[in-house]
Structures are given as structure tokens and as C-alpha cells.
Structure 1
Amino acid sequence: MHSSVKVQSAQLLLGQPGWETTGSGDLAWLRDPSDRRVAALAAAENGRTEQALAHTAELQATLKKEIISRTPPDLNLPERIGPWLYYSRPDAHGGAPIFYRQPAPAGDSSHHLLPPEPSPKETVVLDLNKLETGGALGMMKLSADHRFLAATVDTAGAGDAHELLLVDLAAAAASDGTPRPPLGPPLGHVHACEWGGETLADDGHYALYYTVPDDLGRPCAVHRVRLVPSPPPRRAAALLGGAPELVLSEPDPAYFVDVARTKDGALLTVSCNSKTASEVHVARARGGGGLHLIRAREPGELDHPAATMFVVPLLWGTSSGPASQASVEYYVEHCRGTLHIITNAPSGIPGSSDGEYHLASMPLAAALATPPVPPASPRAAPPSFPGAVPAVEAALSNDAALADLAPETPAPPPWRAVLPPPRGRLEDMDVFTQHIALYEVTVAGRPRLRALALSAADGAVDADADARFAPLPPAARRGAALRAGANRDAGARRVRFALSSVLSPSEELAFDMGGGGAEVLARQQELACDMGGGGAESPSEELAFDMGGGGAEVVAADERAEELALDMGGGGAEVLARQQELPFDMGGGGGGAEVPGEPPFGADDYACYRLTAHSWDGAPVPITVAHARNIPLDGSRPLVLFGYGAYGQSLPLDYSPEHLPLLERGWVLAWAHVRGGREMGKVWHEHGRGLHKMNTFWDSEARAEDLCWLAMNTFWDFEACAEHLCDEGYSSPPLMTAHTHSAGALIAGYIANNRPDLFRAMVMRSPFLDPANTLMERDLPLTIHEYDEFGDPRNEEVLRYLKEYSPCDNVQRQRYPAMLVTTALDDMRVGYWEAFKWARLRGGGGGGGGGSSCVLLKVAHEGGHRGAVHMDGHIDNVAMELAFLIDAVGTGSERWDPQATES
């Protein structure tokens, strides 16, 4: 097959000596987006791309129409928080959603309702459309007494720095219904925010904490500002009580700072997180002490030098001794005096897998009862630990009873593992007054929601109560994603969560953790019929209760699924359980699922299941595939393979309307769950990052001193998946395409250089393609933070490894797959110049070895790393990408009849 995309070979505009070092010399201007030469170059590339794809304009318009028709409205169900019901409605003029609240009705029925019709009882909480600056909402935080609202707004569009708005919700709205204006000018250059308690007991002021980024966009410090409420009856205003105060400053550029309040409102946490380690500071959210006592990170930065600071070595070890690794991560919540912790520290439970996340706990009083540490000391570390390791730091208030808890000598950390690491992975937790909900994924890729009862006395997990598992509809069995819902009400008995699959839009469910079943609150495909979002209550259904999801499970008829336990130390893979081959109903019932659109999409006509490829070392690599049930598996169908493999991030398998146009044209969609992600647990990430991206192995027939090759796990996993899909008849190289984003583009770039015969076309969004050079630029955003993932190139071994796989360092004179590369001039995460550099394939790299290569570059002026700011622009980009892939393979543009029978 030959692509109808025609682009003549041309000498690169930038194909000249010195291109490899864009940070200095004659090409330093390329890194300045305000330089007119950059604008001219971007315009030239965009013009070339538009010309090359002009003949696909009609196809792009059709694809865009299909995507829009398959995009359901968001499930903006109201959320009850204390005495109020909060919700949003779409703006009548197509602007940003408008947020409202009204008094919550008695009882617990509000979670069933769609956003209610306008009511005299409701008031506007926030309307961004009324702001002169506009912008996208980052986050909203309510003060504990619901009087004040803090909101961060991205007015620049890059997504890394925001303005902080303050609104007094007790102030009366204007008589014409105009929302309350923000209090004074916004605070600029803010990343995140959180409130302290209702008021500070010593002066009656409110305290608002917020993080600020440094010059490279890293949230590096926490500040506090006081709000002085006007006394009644003048409640229409509140003033900032003095200049912001520094609470904590983090000098280590590998650590990002965040601030949050535990769900019960009792504690304020300040977290310092790198890619591989955590440090959590804890203080009481209300009372005279507040966060006065949290120390700064370097001498001279202490906000309150007379304060006492306590460091708790919470997760350095178990009862049997110190942990064996420094890379300990943990996340903290609180309930009635017990800290609930998700951590990857060794659990100390025999037979459990160290390094995987699990649930631990410790009494808050014990966390506070540790000897003081000088406030100017560096990040604490046990003597046996090399380098920086995490700690939990707890600031004591002025409460004398708490101060008396500090012992004269250190005691062993009284934390304990509540559950061993699950077979699979633990993703997150939600802590409520009576229960804790754990979001998990099994080793077979199925989402799972587990509920544990908490003791009424101390908030610890009740050891005598059995765990309960939420029953999930059939869509959860393969190719599905479960995400936490709106659960800010600590007293709720039901946990809300959203479930969607590759083939089915999201549905929001509520699981009664105390003994009831799970109930569907709303489905996106049902809401899509009522674009007004008003009034009607969504039908609900009771689902059968699954007592744990074990044993045989209904899966796809064409799936041969196995649960595997992989010994990453070299012991191979062990089959734990084989699943039955039974009919697979994605519809959640007998009637069959249907997604509205033009025409409607019938999910029952499509299959979604998991395959297993085997990489170079025998490791089983999961592949999720989706396609029409009646396509022939003879290599005649086009396929798009998605990959990422970085930062321990699993590929999302939730519903996306941009996937449906390809499925309806007989394409196969596949997701390669390669090492570097976390689909198979944390060890899966560890074996695909840093120097583990490359495992040195020896040719058994070669001399011992001869290095055969460097096997890059992440890249070779992807290659193995592609080859397996071709071997099994899902596609063939002339019809194979790849789609990657950001760090995932390293995979596509590596394959393009080393196996250009395996793919016909590739899409690379905001691609990271030049790691060897970029990671040397320590003045770029995120560079030092990335060392935990890719290594520090100042180490010669690391630099050599980076250059072995860096796409930009390994361009060949050969015919490459057709490629569409997109970038944005305001991308703060990956420099746009990497995409320009990669475009040299058009001339310097792709001109030989059998013909020219089609390399198209689309440059946006705004949108940052995530792409277009507005949904319409995003859909335009997606339609362009899909049209490019369809055109490149030269087939798969006509709609496929999923109900046709073979003749």
C-alpha cells in the first residue's frame, strides 16, 4: 500500500551544522518563541502540513462530525458537602460551566438527581464567564464553614501557573443576579491552594495556604495569607490581613510541593514528592498553632524560629528493621486520630511483594510523639540510607496536652501494614468517617473497589469486619477504567465512582459500603439524549453483589485470558488462573449498549479483550484490543497501536469518542501495556525506567567481553506487541500505525529508527524525542525532576545509554514511516524545538534508502503540553490525526458493517 499523502523531499530549513546544540550558538534563537524566525518557521511548517492534507478536508469534516455526535456531556451530578448541594450547569452561550449551590434536602436522596432546574434557593458560586480575563478553571476549594471560595484560574492557557481568586459566598449577590465579584485583585503565579480550619482561634482570621512555582514552573514553596472577615452586618467584604507568609520552601529541584486538607478537615498536609520518594508534613488545620510550626527547608528561611518541629521516620522500616530501599513513596489521610497511609515501603507481611503499594496505618498521637529536630536541618535520613529519603513531619500546636506526648528518646515507628500489597496494584483510597474505599486493579487488568469498615472508637480499620467488594457491571471485565467520583463529604455512607470502558461511555455509580449494593446514578449515553441537562432523574438499577470477584469470570468469547505472576528476578511467569471462555456482554444487560450518534454506535457489535505478547526476555506483555466482532483476522485490517511506558502511568482504557470512527471503519485498536507503565505493578515501572530501560545481555556464542546489544525493555516490549499482532492476523506492517504522546513518543521514535518496516504511519503528540540533550539543560522546566525517571546524563554511563535510544541521536538514511508531529510554542513540559529537530527526517534523515519520508509538523501557538485549550480545537486536531492515519495506509476510510456475515 502506498500513502496518498504526497510530500516532496526538501532540504531542512534547519538542516545545518550545530543543529544538535540548540541551547547555544547560532540556533539559540530557536528556543525563543517570541523570535520572528520561530513564528516564520512555524507558519511554513503549518502551511506545508495543510497543503499535504488538503485532499482530506472532507474526510476530516466527516470525522469531526462523528466525534462531536459521540461526545456525551459530562456527568456533573450534584455533590452534597455538609449542609449544601453543589453542582454545575453548562453556560447557555457555550462558555465555561457555571457553578451553583443550594441548601441540601433532608435525607440522602440528593445523589440520585441530575443538576436541578433553576431554583430561587440556588446561588451562583463561580461564573468564569463574567471575568474579564477569562481562563480555564484549575481547582476550587471551600473554607470549612462554606463561607469563602478559593479558585485557581489558568488565564495563559499553558496549565502550569494560575491566578488565585477569592469569593465571599456570604456576600449578597447583585439585584440583577450578577454573581458576587472576587475579593480584590487575584493573587498571581499560584499553583494550588487549600484552606486551614474555619478560623484561627487566636485572632478569628481565616487562613488560606497556596503553593507557588519557581522560574521553571516547579511548585517549590507554600505561603499563607490571612483573611479578615468584616463583622456583621457588613459581611459583603473580607480583606487580606497582611502580606503572605512563607510556610515551607523546598530547595531540592527534584521535589514538587503540594498542600491539602484531609477529608475530615482535621489536618493540613504539605507534601514534597519526587518521582520516587515522598515527604509529608502534617499539622492541625485549626487552632492556635495552625501551620506556624512547619519549618523551612534551608537556614534563614524559617518563618517562626521559636517553633518546635518534629520529624517522624514513619515509613523507614518495619518491626524487623529498616527498609531496604530509599525510594519510599506514601500518601496520608486521617480519621479520628488514625493516619491511613498508602505506601510502597516493605509491608513486613511474609510472602508479600516489596515495592508495591499497600495500606498501612498509625495513630496520629504516635506520629506527633517524636523528638524534635532542628528546623534548619536537611532532609532527614537514617544512617543506613544513601541520599534523601522521605519523612513525615508533624507540627504541634500550642496544645499542652499534645506537647507532653514528645518522649525523651526515640521510639520505633508504630506504623503497621493493614493489608498486604494486592495481587495487581493499589491505585488510590478514599477515607470516610465509617469506611475506607480502596481503588485497585487486578493482575488481569480488571478494576476493583474494596471497602473496609473503620472502628467507631479510633478510626482504625476494623479487623473483625470483612472487606466488601463493589459489584461492577460486565463492562469492567476488560478494557475499562474506574475512577473516584465526587466524595468530599467525609460522612457519606456511599462511595461514588465512575466506570467507563473502551466501548461504553462513563456511568456514575454509588456503592453502599455498609451493606447495600451498587446503584447506577447516571449514564452518559442516556444524558446525551437530553443536552439541556435538566430535570429528569436518571433511571437506576440494582446490580448483583459480587463477593470478591474471584473464581471463574465471564469474559470475551474470543479471549484466552490468563492471570500471570511474573518473577522479575528471572524465574519466568507462573499461570495463576485461567478464565472461562464465555459470552461477553459489554451492554451491561440483555438489551445491548448503544451510544447515541450518527448513526448510533452499538457496543455489542464490538469485542474488547486482552492478549499477551512475549518480549525478548520472555516477559508477558499485555495488549488490550478492540474491534468489530466480524472482521477477518487475516492481516487485512488497519490497526493503530497506542503506547506510553513511562512514569509508572498506565494507559487509560476509558471511553474516548475519538476511537469510535476508526472502529466503525473496521480498524483494530490496540494498547500495548509495556514496561515503564504500572499495568503489572510497580515493578513493571521499575523495569522500564532509568538504566532499566536497557538491560545488557550477552550473545551466548560471542566472547564474554563483546557486548551484543542493549535491550531496551520499553521499546522492545512495544516491538514485541506489534509483531505479535501481525503474527496473529490482526494487521500487517503496511497497515500498522502507532499513536504516542509526550514521553511515549520515545517508543515511536526508537521504532522508527530501528524498525521502520514495522509501521506505515505514526502520530506523535507533544513528543519527547531528544532526551540526551534535553536532560543536559538543567535550566529547563522539569529537567532535574526527570532524573529519577531517565537518569542524570552528567553520569557518562547514563549519557551513553540515553544516546543509544534517543530518537534524535539515531536518525538513519532510510525510508521512515509517514509521521504527523504536533507541538505548541507554549509547551512548558517538552520544548517545541524537539519536534522541529525531528522534522529533519524530511531531508537529512529520510532522503535515502528507498525514497522520501512524509514528516508533517503542526505547530500551535497556545495550548501547552495538553493541546488545544478549547474542545472544538481539540476535536479539529483529532480529526486531522485520524484522517492522516487513514490516508497513510490507503484503506479503512469506508464504514464497516459490524453485522454483516461472511459470504
Structure 2
Amino acid sequence: MRDPTPPVARKIPTVALLHGETRSDDYAWLRDKTDPNVIAYLEAENAYTNAVMQPTETLQAELYDEMLARIKEDDSRPPVQRGDWYYYSRTEQGKAYPMFCRRKGSPDAPEQVYFDQNEAAKGHDYYQLGGLAVSPDHRHLALLVDTSGYEDFALQVLDLETRDWLPDRIEKIGFGLAWASDNRTLFYTTTDAAHRSNEVWRHALRAERATDVSVYRDDDPRYNVGVGRARNGMFIHLVSGSFTSGETWLLDAHQPAAEAQLVRPRQADVEYDVTPGADWLYIVTNRDGARNFKVMRAPVSAPDQWTEWLAHRPDVFVESVDAFCSHLVVLERHEGLRRLRIINTTISDPDAADAPTQASHYIEFPDAAYDVTPGSNPEFDTLLLRFTYSSLITPDSVYDYDITTRARVLLKRDEVLGGYDPSQYAVERLMAPARDGALVPISLVYKTPFARDGTRPLLLYAYGSYGYTMEPSFGSSRLSLLDRGFVYAIAHIRGGQEMGRPWYDDGKMMKKLNTFYDFIDCAEHLVKHRYATQGAIVAHGGSAGGLLMGAIANMRPDLWRAVVADVPFVDVINTMLDETIPLTAQEWEQWGNPMIAEHYAYMRQYSPYDNVEAKAYPRMLATSGINDPRVAFWEPAKWIAKLRSLKTDSNPLLLKMEMASGHGGASGRYERLKEQAFRYAFMLTHGAA
């Protein structure tokens, strides 16, 4: 049987001059998804991918079946108390989406299914919720619904007593949803032509949209606007932030038509987040050179009068705080791992030498590498903290922690069906020296017994952008690789915030190359210490992690046996030149603005699309969704077309384009498993020697 023939995209040069350099783009025509020729090309790429992967269909089915078999399909989350009601979600076998449920008065009271996403999703290829909020009196449910993947939401409101949908339906709005305390007023956001949330609106139930009132608008294209309701129920907070500064306005939740009050005007290179407590506002900020952030506070009655409360510590990064009636939970990061610090808010200085020891303590965790995330914790006046804990071998475990007694109760640990035994796997945490001397953490997991002889295939994953931290958490699907001999590794490279804010700052803008160098140096460290062999590593990343994949494929193609890039941001310069594209103007503070000659010269060094060359590349798979609003479908389409025209090897080069989804892939859990089975089949077939 002859090998499938890959499609060849037409070359239609688009020429531009920038900073004295003539830029010719042969595949700019692929940007127009209304062009039948573009759709035909994408369908040809899908047909080719399916043909190449056809011999793996049995393996894909096997992977899907075993991943599904590990999941308890009929399952539920522990209920969360909110007033007299207990809210939770659950899933049923054969149904792709969760059902949202509640019980009144007791966790054992009769169940009320207040929203069944499976019923709502009927007739839609894609159905995702961008927000779900029950009114303070528990009478109404507000939803943000996306049926395309483009994150253009429709606001819908359901009467939970009559089960009738209200006539309120507001189309094409953004993320963010908040109820006022009158239970009749909703706040939502809208987006501008570049899909940036730029305005907050006030809406009265059953009123026409034309009567909605704009309460906040920001026309600076670098800033994104959001809205939310404070846990203490006192405020609606209106937030506008860029990657380097921002400001917050507070609106009385009991008087939704009142004027919002500015906490403090925005200031260049000063970030702050406000969390209202009982009598104080707690402010996490980098003001006064607090590079790793500190906590200040201000009286609720005088929000601009800030005083220092938890001082800056160079070796501890303050991520955020959760405020309750009598205590504060500080999310800190130290030596790459998150900590939860509980502080009694009645003391004026928790770090003072004479502060009582019982006023501040940390919740202890057993593993050397782990992930811990607080739950929603909607009750303000409580001494219980809900959090979820996991590690690379410990499934998600939901705890209630008593602030006073320091006792924790395990409410639920996700079941992994099929006889999963964590003792059969081992976790390591390494520190890999980067070329400039920085030590980069690597988290690894593998099945035992394990010999460090370089014979096992290794999957190296990373993200490395926006300060987003890749936590060493559990994934049952990953067992399908581990049980077939793979080592799984996460490189906690610069651009994330694993090691604090400087770790992020040293992996963006004019230091972005550190992100790619770190990944390469981690791979070489793993080879040196015989966890893997050069040329036998599978590299994987998505979105901005897909940029990483494109860059390292250009820089060191010899290191990788295969590269998998999901929704990859690879056409960096062309995207950053076009302000009409969602996110572009905001992201000049991440990558730089190519209209500035110095920025352009630096970006030109790593932009994957601009650095494709006539040379051998590893086996490669790129995935995307045609309705992706964050990384446009044409970025991977153009990248694959250019790679195919220049590369000198015969290795597989595949593009899998979903024709009815967006940035996150499929919305239903079974389709997501099929996508993962496809990805793993590629890795096992083309990534393992």
C-alpha cells in the first residue's frame, strides 16, 4: 500500500517591509476561513492526518477504553454549603456533561437538579459554560453559554422555582458575571472588536437590553475588564488590568445603582488585587518594589489608605489571598511549591516578633511535589476551609480543614478504577542547571522498577508563559503512557511563576529566549543523567506552550523524536502586528511590539514561523480548532504548510483541525478522551523507538 500523499498549500506571496527587512509570507491567504479554498485545504490536511493515523485506530480505541475504564462515570463532587443550601455537581454514565444539583437544609435532603447541561447541550456540537451563578436568594440561575468555541457568550436566566427561562437573553458578551444583593440586578461584560472585555453593564431582570446601564468602560487596548461579587457580599468589584498594572473599583452590592468607588488609580508597573474582609480590604501588590508581592490593607471606609500588613519576602511569592470573617488564607509559593498560610485577621502585624504563635500557621502537606488549590468556599463566616490536594501519584483529594483545631477531614478522593496502586509508581524532583546558572525544577513520574539507563521513552511537557504555573498534579489518563514504559516529566521553566515573580519576568519580553533555553537544558540534563536518550524524547506543549514547541523544534530538532503542539501560537510577529486580532495589543507586554525595532529584532530570533528552515525536523503533530479566539486556526495551518515545503526529512507532519471547536478542544468529556487517545497514539507510535 502506498503511503498517503500530504496536501501541498498554494504559495501566494504577501510582501511587506518592516524595519528595513522585506517580509514575504506565502501562506497569509490561509487566514480567511470564509474562503472555500481555505476550508478545502484544512479538510485535506485532516484527511491526510486520518490516513496516516489509520493504522493506529485499534490502539486509539484501546487507549480510549482503558482511560474511560479508570473513570468513575457515575460520580459526584462533595457538596458546598451556601446558606441553607448544599450545592454540588455530578455526572452519569454515558452523559458528556455535568448535572448541577442542590439540597436544602441538609446534605441528605431530597436532590434538586437545577441545571442539566446534557439536556441544554442537545442539538449542539459544542456547549461550554463561561459562567454559572445562583442569585443570593437562591431563586435564579444566570448562565454564560458558548456554542461555538469562540467564547462569544449568551447570558440566560432560569427561574429555579418555576423552571421557566426568563426573557432575558443577551448575546455576544464576555467572561464575568455577578449578582447584586437585591437579587434583581446582574452585572456582565461586553467585548470590543478585538474580542477584549472592555465594558461592564448593569442589567435588571426582565428588562430590555437597551435599558442596560454601562457602569465601567476602559478604552485602553492593553487592559482587560472583569466583574465579580465579593465573598463577604458587600461589594461588586470592577477590575481592569494589563500584564503590568491595573485598578479596582468597588460598588455597593446592596445599592447596585450607586456610583462605584475607585480603590486607587492605576500606576505604571504597579499591580494590585483587592479582597474585602470584614472591616478591611486586603491588597496583594508589588508596590514599593515588592517584586514577589506583599499584603497591605486599608479600611473599608477609606480604600485608598493602604498600610503594610504582610511584608515582602524575597524568597516567598504571594500569589493571592482569600478573606473570611476572622481569618485570611494566603496562597504563597516557596521553593517552587504552593503553601497555604492561615492568619488571624484580628492582629495588626502577623510577622511581628510578639505576634501570638496561634495567630498564623501553615497547613502541612506530605509529598515532595504536589498541587493544592482552595475550593470556592462561598461562606464568609466560617472556620472551615475546603481545598483539593493531589500529586503526580495521588488523585484529587478534597478536604475540609478546621482553622481552629487544625484537623482535616478527607471528603473525597477521586477513584481510579481498575486496580490503580500508587506504590507501583515513583516521583522525583530534580534541579537542572540552565546555561546561565539558574536551577530549573523538573517533576518526574514513572512506573517502577526503573533503571536509569536511557532506554525508556520520555515525555517532556512545559508551558512557560504568562506567569502560569504548571503544577505536579494527577491525571489518570497519563497512566496509559506510564504503564507502557514512558517517563513523564514537567519542566518548570522560566516564564511561569513556579519560583516566584522573577521567574516569570526572566521568561518574557526581552528575556523570552530563557524559556526555550530552559526547556532544551532540562532535556539535556535528563539525557546526561540517563533518564532519556537524545533523539528519543517527546516534547509536548499547548497554546503559548505550542510557541515553545515551535521554537525548540527549530533550535534543537536533534533532541526530539516527536513534537506535539496543541493550539500553538507560532506566527508571533504577524499576530503581534495585527491589532484587530484578539489579545494582540494586551500581549505587547508579554512578547513585545514588533513595530518597535528592538522588539522586532528580538522576536525575530525565536518566532517559530519565521525561523522554519530547510533541514530535518522530528515527527510532528499540531492540533487546533477553527473557532479558536485566542490562537487563530491559521497559525498552525500556516506553520505546517511552511514546514512541509521546507523540511528535508520524511517524518510524519500532521495537522488535526477540529472544525467545530475552539481553544480548549471538545467540550464533552468523552470527546476530550478521544482527543487524548489520538494524541497518545501518535506519541506511542511515532514517539517511542
TM-score tier (shorter): over 0.9
Q: Which of 684, 693, 697 is the aligned partner of 2:503?
A: 684
Given the alignment of the two structures, is residue 78 of structure 1 paired with residue 14 of structure 2, yes or no? no
CA deviation profile, 1:38-77 (whole Å, cap 9, x unmatched): 2211111111111111111111111111211223456511
Cα distance, 1:10 vs. partner? 5.8
What is the one-letter code of the residue matched to 1:806? S
TM-score in terms of structure 1 length: 0.71
What is the one-letter code of the residue matched to 2:546? A
Aligned to 1:12: 8
Aligned to 2:334: 442
Structure 2 distance, partners of 1:166, 1:723, is 54
Larger CA deviation: 260-269 vs 426-435: 426-435
Greater C-alpha radius of gyration: 1
Query: Taking structure 1 as reference, are residues 93 and 615 closer, same or farther at Cα in structure 2, changes over 3 Å only?
Result: closer
Query: Taking structure 1 as reference, are residues 276 and 75 closer, same or farther at Cα in structure 2, changes over 3 Å only?
Result: farther
Aligned to 2:279: 337
Q: Which of 351, 361, 386 is the aligned partner of 1:468?
A: 361
Structure 2 distance, partners of 1:857, 1:19, is 26
Query: Taking structure 1 as reference, are residues 501 and 20 closer, same or farther at Cα in structure 2, changes over 3 Å only?
Result: farther
Query: Taking structure 1 as reference, are residues 16 and 210 closer, same or farther at Cα in structure 2, changes over 3 Å only?
Result: closer
* Contact 1:765 1:822 survives alignment (8 Å): yes
CA deviation profile, 1:169-205 (whole Å, cap 9, x unmatched): 3x34xxxxxxx02111421122244445432xxxxx8
CA deviation profile, 1:699-739 (whole Å, cap 9, x unmatched): xxxxxxxxxxxxx2111111110101000001112311100
Cα distance, 1:647 vs. partner? 0.4
* Contact 2:582 2:630 survives alignment (8 Å): yes
CA deviation profile, 1:479-537 (whole Å, cap 9, x unmatched): x2111113001122110000111122101011111223111111111xxxxxxxxxxxx
Cα distance, 1:283 vs. partner? 2.0
Cα distance, 1:754 vs. partner? 2.0
Aligned to 1:601: 420
CA deviation profile, 1:541-564 (whole Å, cap 9, x unmatched): xxxxxxxxxxxxxxxxxxxxxxxx
Aligned to 1:184: 167
Aligned to 1:359: 295
* Contact 1:496 1:511 survives alignment (8 Å): yes
Structure 2 distance, partners of 1:802, 1:457, is 47
* Contact 1:608 1:624 survives alignment (8 Å): yes
Describe the SS at the equivalent of 1:748. helix
Given the alignment of the two structures, is residue 791 of structure 1 paired with residue 592 of structure 2, yes or no? yes
Structure 2 distance, partners of 1:89, 1:185, is 27
Superposition pairs of residues 555-570 of structure 1, within 5 angstroms: none
Residue ranges of structure 2 left out of the alignment (5+ in a row): 18-22
Aligned to 1:497: 387
Structure 1 distance, partners of 2:257, 2:355, is 34
What is the one-letter code of the residue matched to 2:340? L
Q: How many residues align?
A: 678
Cα distance, 1:130 vs. partner? 4.3
What is the one-letter code of the residue matched to 1:182? W
Superposition pairs of residues 863-874 of structure 1, within 5 angstroms: 863-874=661-672
Cα distance, 1:657 vs. partner? 2.2
Larger CA deviation: 791-800 vs 143-152: 143-152
Aligned to 1:775: 576
Cα distance, 1:157 vs. partner? 2.9
What is the one-letter code of the residue matched to 2:685? D
CA deviation profile, 1:70-119 (whole Å, cap 9, x unmatched): 234565111110121222333576153332333223xxxx5xxxxx5xx5
CA deviation profile, 1:445-473 (whole Å, cap 9, x unmatched): 3332211112299999995452122233x
* Contact 1:75 1:522 survives alignment (8 Å): no
Structure 2 distance, partners of 1:804, 1:183, is 54
Superposition pairs of residues 435-584 of structure 1, within 5 angstroms: 435-443=327-335, 445-455=336-346, 464=356, 465-472=358-365, 474=366, 476-478=367-369, 480-525=370-415
Aligned to 1:823: 624
* Contact 1:224 1:244 survives alignment (8 Å): yes
Superposition pairs of residues 397-416 of structure 1, within 5 angstroms: 413-416=305-308
Given the alignment of the two structures, is residue 168 of structure 1 paired with residue 159 of structure 2, yes or no? yes
Structure 1 distance, partners of 2:587, 2:3, is 36
Cα distance, 1:422 vs. partner? 7.0
Aligned to 1:254: 222
Superposition pairs of residues 891-902 of structure 1, within 5 angstroms: 891=689
Describe the SS at the equivalent of 1:254. coil
Larger CA deviation: 185-194 vs 878-887: 185-194
Aligned to 1:198: 181
What is the one-letter code of the residue matched to 1:737? V
Aligned to 1:804: 605
What is the one-letter code of the residue matched to 1:655? F
Structure 2 distance, partners of 1:718, 1:793, is 25
Structure 2 distance, partners of 1:185, 1:11, is 47
Cα distance, 1:138 vs. partner? 2.3
Given the alignment of the two structures, is residue 420 of structure 1 paired with residue 403 of structure 2, yes or no? no
Given the alignment of the two structures, is residue 880 of structure 1 paired with residue 678 of structure 2, yes or no? yes
Structure 2 distance, partners of 1:7, 1:623, is 39
- TM-align CA RMSD: 2.9
Describe the SS at the equivalent of 2:166. coil
Cα distance, 1:620 vs. partner? 0.8
Cα distance, 1:292 vs. partner? 3.5
* Contact 2:237 2:249 survives alignment (8 Å): yes
Cα distance, 1:28 vs. partner? 5.7
Residue ranges of structure 1 left out of the alignment (5+ in a row): 111-115, 173-179, 200-204, 228-237, 295-309, 317-325, 348-353, 369-412, 526-594, 694-711, 892-903
Query: Taking structure 1 as reference, are residues 133 and 459 closer, same or farther at Cα in structure 2, changes over 3 Å only?
Result: farther
Describe the SS at the equivalent of 1:601. coil
Aligned to 1:669: 488
Aligned to 2:95: 94
Query: Taking structure 1 as reference, are residues 745 and 157 closer, same or farther at Cα in structure 2, changes over 3 Å only?
Result: closer
Structure 1 distance, partners of 2:134, 2:351, is 27
Structure 2 distance, partners of 1:49, 1:491, is 55
Structure 1 or 2: larger strand share? Answer: 2
Aligned to 1:303: none
What is the one-letter code of the residue matched to 1:813? A
What is the one-letter code of the residue matched to 1:417? W
Cα distance, 1:623 vs. partner? 1.0
Cα distance, 1:129 vs. partner? 4.1
Structure 1 distance, partners of 2:493, 2:351, is 37
Superposition pairs of residues 82-481 of structure 1, within 5 angstroms: 82-91=83-92, 94-105=95-106, 110=107, 116=108, 121-131=110-120, 135-158=127-150, 160-169=151-160, 171-172=161-162, 180-199=163-182, 206-227=184-205, 243-287=211-255, 290-294=256-260, 311-313=262-264, 326-346=268-288, 354-367=290-303, 413-421=305-313, 423-443=315-335, 445-455=336-346, 464=356, 465-472=358-365, 474=366, 476-478=367-369, 480-481=370-371
Structure 2 distance, partners of 1:64, 1:458, is 54
Aligned to 1:702: none
Aligned to 2:20: none
Describe the SS at the equivalent of 1:843. helix
Cα distance, 1:338 vs. partner? 0.5
Aligned to 1:50: 50
Query: Taking structure 1 as reference, are residues 493 and 125 closer, same or farther at Cα in structure 2, changes over 3 Å only?
Result: same
Describe the SS at the equivalent of 1:734. coil
Structure 2 distance, partners of 1:432, 1:786, is 34
Structure 2 distance, partners of 1:607, 1:458, is 42
Superposition pairs of residues 27-42 of structure 1, within 5 angstroms: 29-42=29-42
Structure 2 distance, partners of 1:248, 1:634, is 60
Describe the SS at the equivalent of 1:186. strand
Structure 2 distance, partners of 1:630, 1:92, is 35
Larger CA deviation: 80-89 vs 612-621: 80-89
Structure 2 distance, partners of 1:44, 1:51, is 10
Larger CA deviation: 185-194 vs 610-619: 185-194
Structure 2 distance, partners of 1:255, 1:890, is 44
Structure 2 distance, partners of 1:223, 1:34, is 32
Aligned to 1:731: 532
Query: Taking structure 1 as reference, are residues 731 and 104 closer, same or farther at Cα in structure 2, changes over 3 Å only?
Result: same
Structure 1 distance, partners of 2:635, 2:681, is 24
